[in-house]
Every structure is written in structure tokens, then in C-alpha cells.
A and B are shown apart, each in its own frame.
Chain A
Amino acid sequence: MGDHHHGPAKGLTRWLFTTNHKDIGTMYLWFSFAMFLLGGFFAMIIRAELFQPGMQLIEPAFFNQMTTLHGLIMVFGAIMPSFVGLANWLIPMMIGAPDMALPRMNNWSFWILPPAFLLLASTLFMEGGAPAAGWTFYAPLSTTYAGPSVTYFIFCIHVLGLSSIMGSINIIATVMNMRAPGMTYMKMPLFVWTWLITAFLLVAVMPVLAGAVTMMLMDVHFGTSFFSAAGGGDPVLFQHIFWFFGHPEVYIIILPAFGVVSQIIPAFSRKPLFGYDSMVYATASIAFLSFIVWAHHMYTVGMPVAGELFFMYATMLIAVPTGVKVFNWISTMWRGALSFETPMLFSIGFIILFTIGGFTGLMLSIAPADFQYHDSYFVVAHFHYVMVAGAVFSMTAAIYFWLPKWCGRMYNETMGKTHFWISFIGFNLAFFPQHFVGLAGMPRRIPDYALQFADFNMMSSIGAFIYGASQILFLYNVIATIVAGDPVSDEKVWDGAEGLEWTLPTPAPYHTFETPPLVR
């Protein structure tokens, strides 16, 4: 039983009952890609409606359901599970462990996700439709004015939280307990470091979100008044609790992306990462700061001036460790023997576009200026530069970078580069004009807009369709690689790649490091 190298079981039960970190990682990745396409489909509906001013295709109520589900599915269904999938595949291979620390729980963390999202998406067909209060589901929109779908939504959030907490506990236990002899903390690849810190953030804030939705549930069904001033509560309390979760959440999304880029840039610069120690400390600083900046999402809600100032200065501080990171990536490339394969292109795209998103974030952090930008399309542009060009670009880079290692076949480089350029152009065409319409006063989350925003919105929609279409090319390239890509057998698929996972045979066997390697 389990003594020798054996392959996977046959048939469907391999996937249903598996305890193997690679199988579970694969399932996470495919699931998140499916959710990415679903959330992207909702985005296409939104952009189609906004193609021209006036009400064109859908009802305003349905538009609200689309923005809500697009946000929820992209954040909780696409980006977060995709990085968990990457962590499952890579962390054991990077630290020389036989598997994740708690393999059965690992499988459970995955399998509760698909039915939870199925339940959430099915509310679209319920009487009254899906939740429509935005992905931030502020009270009282989500309590006093909630329909039956909000109950299903609340329990789905509980399940997603459970999945994230179990997944994170697994990652923390794996990293703390399963490192190969000699793999000290400060020798760990940066991807492992960023995930360790991310997992800590998840364990700390997902329960807070669970608390917030539990209060909503009680307000809706059991007559409590957490978010109702009539009973002595406060709707703004919801925003405080939500963003106490929500701000660390955006670092939960971006920190693993930092980790990925910190693996890829050195590989294609053929130089070690510049400033490894400072990268680790910068990641930890960002994680710490993420707990004390939440109210910068709520400058216009009527806080005392002292609060506004504190959150403004604390937020600006985040630019320092983030700047350290960007500096280190660029210094890594400085005088390196650069080559520009697809993963490197996406990583460089990440650095440029994420930095733009970071700068607009700095603009938004200025409380008096935010009074103008708040809830405008400028905010939409800002967070899509961070979420899409940040998290999704780095995830795409990661797939191109490690896919050959996983399946022993090389993707089509021309198609990969084409994918990059189409997404790069499509993305910028979609979101760069949104800065302008936002600064000019176009509010977010509306199905119709004033005539002067028409041209930029049409550009935005065309860009979004291009970016959306480029993902089909990506899907095709990945499937073509797995089915019929050119075989690669070098242990190091990329000549500049360093780390334990590149010492394993290609494709990576079903079980790896059953006895740990020695790291010197």
C-alpha cells in the first residue's frame, strides 16, 4: 500500500477521491478557469450593455446582478482558487515534500467549492434573481432590501470561507512542517514565502467575513439590528467589518502573484533574484499594513477627520514595501541575459501594468482627492489594473512557465506570444479609458451613462471583447499542449530556472520526494 511509485487510479474516482496534491492542484486550476470564463461572460454582458449610452440589452436590475456575480465569481471563484491550485502543485515540489500536510482535508477544501458556486449561480434563476448589491454587498442593500437569494449567498460565503481556511491551514502546516532537511525559511523560493504569508492572512480574515455575513443573516431573518440604526446598530458597521476582511483580501489575491513573478523574472534574466531578503520583509510588511488600512475604502462615509488621516497615511505607507518589490524585479533584470518567452512577457506586462494600478491606488489613498474619485470608473480602472493585469497576468505567466514541467509538453510559443500581445492591447484598450471617464465623473455600477462618455465606453467595450476573446486562444493553447504539444524531457525546461521542482523528472511523476532531498 503506497510503498512504491505508482501512478494515478483509473477513471472518475481518481479525481473524486484523490489525496494527491497534483490532482487537487489540477482540479483547482480547471475549476478556476471555468469560473474565469463564467465571470468573463458576465463581464461581456456588462460591456455589451455599456457599448452605447441608453438602455440597450438588459434591465437595470439584471445589470446589477451581473456586476455582483461578476465580482464575486472573479474574486472568490477564479483568482483565489487558481492560486490555491498553483500552491497545491508547486509548494510540495518546491520545498521537497511528499505531498501536502493534510491530504484528505486538501481534497475536501476543493470539493466544497464547485457545489457552492453552482448554488450561487443558480440564484440567477430564482424568483427575484441573484444577489444584486454589488460584490461588496453593503447593508442595507443586502439586508433590509434583500430577497431570498441573499440567504443562499450567505451560506455560500460560509462554505467558501471554510474552503479557504482549510486550504490555508494546510499550506501553513506544509510549509512549517514539511520542508526538506536544509531548506531553511530564508532558502525557500519566494512563491512559497508569499503563500505562507497569504495563508496567514486568509486564516485571519476569512472568519471575520463569516462573522459579517452571519450578522447579515441574523438581521434578515431573526430581527437583530447590527446594521440598522433604528435598533441602535449602524449600516457603516457592515462596511468596517467587510473591509477589515476586504483589504487583506486584495493582498491575498496579489501576494501569490508577486511570488510567481519573483520566480519567473530571475529565470529569464538568468540571474538570481535581486534582494531576496528584502522581498521577504516587504511581503511581511505589506501583510501587516493590510490590517490597518481598511477604512480607505470608506473615506466618504462620514468618519471623523482623525480616522481619515490615520487611514490615509497608513495606506500611503504601503507604497514603500511595494516599491521595494518593483525595484527588486527591475534590478533583477538589470544587466541580465534576458530572453522574452511568453511567461517573461506576461511578467514584464505584470510589472508595468501593476505599477500603473499601484500609482492610481496611491492617488485614491489621498482622502480629499478620493472624495472626487470615490465610486467612479477611476476606481474600476484602478482595481482592474491590479486584479487583471496584476493577478490574472501573473497567473497566466505561471501556467506558461510550469505547464511544460507538469505535462512534459511544450506549448506553442508563437501562439503564446500572440496571446500576450492580444491580451495586453485588449486589456489596456478596455481599462485605460476608464481612468478618463472616471475622473470626468462617470459613476460605477450603472447600466446607462451621460452622452459625453460614449466614445471612451465604446473603446472600453471593444477592448474587453478583445481581451475576452484572447482567453479562448489561451484555452486552446493549453489543451493543445496537454494533448499534442512537443514533448520535453529536460529536467530544467527553462535553462535559467532554479529550484527543487526543476530537479525532478519532466513530466513530474505522480508522487515526488517520497523521501526528502537534502538541500545545501
Chain B
Amino acid sequence: MTSQTSAEYEKYYVPEKSRLALCATAGLILSIYGASGIMNDMTFGDPDEATNSWSIFLFGMFFFAATLFSWFRTAIRENIAGLNSAQLKKSYVLGMFWFIFSEVMFFFAFFGALFYVRNLAGPWLGGEGDGGRMNGLLWPSFDFAWPMMQTPQEAVGGATTQVIANNGSFTSAHTSMSFADAHVWWHWLPLWNTLVLLTSSVTCHIAHLGILKGDKKKFNLWLGITVALGMIFVYLQIMEYYEAYNEFGLTLNSGIYGSTFFMLTGFHGFHVFMGMTMLLIQLLRSVIGKQFTATDHFGFEASSWYWHFVDVVWVFLFLFVYIL
């Protein structure tokens, strides 16, 4: 069946043993141990009792970040040293593709929750359908609408008058984030956010076209613009959260509307921040490290795929969270 022949096979580089995985493990586990402690202190703990959860968490995160930095530096140096065969480069491409696919599925869970609540569970809570009969008894006078400006709890008179499953108080906002609630269209931040992010995807593509032709100047310029647009997006998102909390009364406690709004936009914002950081690192590699050529720029390419991915997620967010 086989014979061990291969004249021109370019060896697949298998790295020697490495400390990276173990250091990354230590950082990750310390981080989650610290994070769990912080949250438990907050919810179950005695406020007068001092704990070291924050120190463990911050030390873990720092160690984790430092390890990742070292890990990527090692991978980049291996590539520059010419260790990576074409076949190995394809492994990185596949790895990045399937990583982005896993991210898509993560957002899918939150979008699924949104659709389920808006189309099924919400109307049932409002008393619709066969399943709604019991809910009509439990939450009398609750009418379902989206955005949900009154929680079932408020409909029955607040947490104190709620009969079953009392697990906190959920108070709604007086103004939603939808276009209908915006005073004038140019005060509606999501529109500006959409413009900024869509533009940044175009500028990112222009940078890509630049590096494909080997035009480093064009590449640096348009990549820089992309990173700046990413920063503007994150800034606008922070402003929007500030507005939601301080002017609209929309918080994480505002029932399912606040929950889905902040979790979807929050995770998206976090991913934009990650993508922006990735692109910034590519910019620094290009400007300071003088790296990347027309044929060898996978670090940038992978980051740009990630950037287009967060852009597409935003389009869906804009459609289903803000408009429809």
C-alpha cells in the first residue's frame, strides 16, 4: 500500500517542546479562579471581608496576556526564519477559519435567545396561545411588545407583589434604543456606528489591496485609518451605554430587553475591541517591525477576516436589535 518516497516534500515543521502551553494554562486557570472569586464576593460574600480575588484575577490575566504575546512572537519568528512550509501556512488558514466559525456559533446562541423571546416566549407570557393561559393568571395585565418597556414583574406591581420565583427586581427603561425613540435622526448613535464600522471594512479591504501589490505606504495608511475607525466605534459604543444607563434608565436589570441588548452589543463591542487590537498589532508589525510582503502577510489577513466578521455581526445587530 505504501512506500516511503517523497523527493521534493518540504518538511512540515513540528516545534520542539515548548513551555507556552503550560504557562498559558497557568494564566487562564488563575484568571477564571480569580474571576469566580470576584463574582462570588459580589453576590454571596460579606462586604466587610477582604479577599484577594482581584489580585489573583489581575495576576492571572497579566500572565496569560504575556504568554500569548510570547506565543505569537514565537510563531511570527518561526515564519520569518522560513520554517513554515506552504502546507503549514495552510494549517494556520484553516485554524483561523474554523475559529471564526466557532465565534459565529457563539453569537448564534445570543441571537437565538433574542428570536425565541421575541417570537415565542414573549407572546406566551402575554397570554397568547395554549401555553399562555397559565401566564395570563400569573402575570395579569402584562402585554407583550418589543422593545419590552414593562416587565411582567412591573405589570403585577413590582418585586414585592410578585407571587412566584422571586429572583431580583427588574425595572424597565423609559426610552428604548430603537429609532422610534430617537429624538432626531442625527442623535441616533447606532446609525453613526453602522456608518463607521461599514466604512472601516472598506478601508481594511483597501489596505489589503495595497499589501497585495506590495504597496506598504498605502497599506500602512489605510490600515491606520481602519484602526482609528475601530477606536471611534468603541468610543461611540461607550457613549451609547452611558446614555442608556444615565438618560434612558436602560440597564442590565431592565428585563429581557436590557439583557439581550447589553449582551449582544456588549459581546460585539468586545469583539470589535479584540479585532481592533489585532489590527493595531499588525500595523505596529508593519510600521515598526517592517514586516509583511505582497506574498507573506497572514497575520494581517487573519485579522482582516476577523474584522469583516465583526462587521457582519454588526449588520445583523443593527437590523434585529435596533431597527426591527
Contact = CB atoms under 8 A, between A and B. Distances in A.
A159 B252 contact: no
Contacts of B20: 104, 108
A16 interface: yes
A111 B21 contact: yes
A69 to B, nearest CB: 17
A221 interface: yes
A105 B71 CA distance: 10
A324 B103 CA distance: 34
Interface in A7-26: 9, 13-14, 16-20
Contacts of A208: 105-106, 108-109, 112
B170 A108 contact: no
A515 B6 contact: yes
B113 A215 contact: yes
Interface in B1-50: 1-6, 9, 11-22, 24-25, 28-29, 32-33, 35-36, 39-40, 42-44
Interface stretch (A43-51, A227-235, A261-269, A427-435): A227-235
A228 B168 contact: yes
A508 to B, nearest CB: 15
Contact of A215 (B17, B32, B138, B263): B263
Q: Interface size for chain B: under 10, 10 to 19, 20 to 34, or 35 or more residues?
A: 35 or more
A44 to B, nearest CB: 29
A301 B220 CA distance: 57
Contacts of B159: 230
B139 A229 contact: yes
Contacts of B42: 221
Most-contacted residue by chain B among A112, A158, A236, A304 (CB, 10 A): A112
Contact of A18 (B17, B91, B135, B251): B17
B125 A234 contact: yes
A140 B168 CA distance: 13
Interface string A480-520: 00000000000000000000100100000001001111111
B158 to A, nearest CB: 10
Interface string A129-169: 00000000000100110011001101110110010010011
B165 A229 contact: yes
B235 to A, nearest CB: 23
Contact of B102 (A156, A178, A206): A206
A518 B1 CA distance: 8
Contact of A148 (B18, B32, B40, B90): B40
A19 B153 contact: no
A519 B2 CA distance: 6
Contacts of A217: 39
Interface stretch (B115-123, B192-200, B222-230, B278-286): B115-123
Interface stretch (A93-101, A340-348, A471-479): A93-101
Given A158-B32, A304-B131, A503-B2, A228 B170 contact: yes
Interface residues of A, number: 98
A111 B23 CA distance: 10
Given A173-B91, A208-B106, A520 B12 contact: no
B16 A1 contact: yes
A207 B262 CA distance: 19
A500 B95 CA distance: 25
A255 interface: no
B127 interface: no
Nearest to A515: B6
Contacts of A2: 13-14, 16
B9 A515 contact: yes
Nearest to B3: A518
Contact of A233 (B28, B32, B110, B121): B121
Contacts of A151: 36, 39-40
Contact of B28 (A101, A112, A152, A503): A112
Contacts of A143: 167
A36 B103 CA distance: 31
B62 interface: no
Interface stretch (A237-245, A378-386, A446-454): A237-245
B210 to A, nearest CB: 29
B148 interface: yes
B4 A517 contact: yes
Interface in B88-105: 88, 90-92, 94-95, 98-99, 101-103, 105
A210 B2 contact: no
Contacts of B5: 518
Contact of A230 (B33, B88, B122, B166): B166
Contacts of A96: 2
B17 A159 contact: no
A257 interface: no
Interface stretch (B241-249, B253-261, B304-312): B253-261
A205 interface: yes
Contacts of B29: 112, 115-116, 119, 159
Given A231-B259, A516-B6, A237 B22 contact: no
Nearest to B6: A515
B87 interface: yes
B40 A104 contact: no
A99 to B, nearest CB: 5
B153 A111 contact: no
B151 interface: yes
A181 B256 contact: no
B14 A237 contact: no
A252 B234 CA distance: 38
A228 B165 contact: yes
B133 to A, nearest CB: 11
B113 A226 contact: yes
B35 A155 contact: yes
Contacts of A18: 17
Given A144-B165, A203-B105, A207-B106, A108 B152 contact: no
A374 B148 CA distance: 35
A3 B234 CA distance: 48
A351 interface: no
A17 B22 contact: yes
Given A217-B39, A230-B153, A515-B6, A101 B105 contact: no
Contacts of B11: 514-515
Contacts of A98: 12, 14
B6 A181 contact: yes
Interface of A: 1-2, 9, 13-14, 16-20, 96-99, 101-105, 107-108, 110-112, 115-116, 119, 140, 143-144, 147-148, 151-152, 154-156, 158-159, 162, 165, 168-170, 172-174, 176-178, 180-181, 203-208, 210-212, 214-215, 217-226, 228-234, 236-237, 240-241, 244, 302-304, 500, 503, 511, 514-520
27 contacts: A2-B14, A16-B19, A20-B14, A108-B21, A108-B24, A111-B25, A112-B28, A147-B44, A154-B36, A169-B102, A173-B94, A181-B6, A207-B102, A207-B106, A207-B108, A210-B106, A211-B108, A218-B252, A225-B168, A226-B260, A228-B165, A230-B151, A231-B151, A303-B131, A503-B2, A511-B14, A518-B2
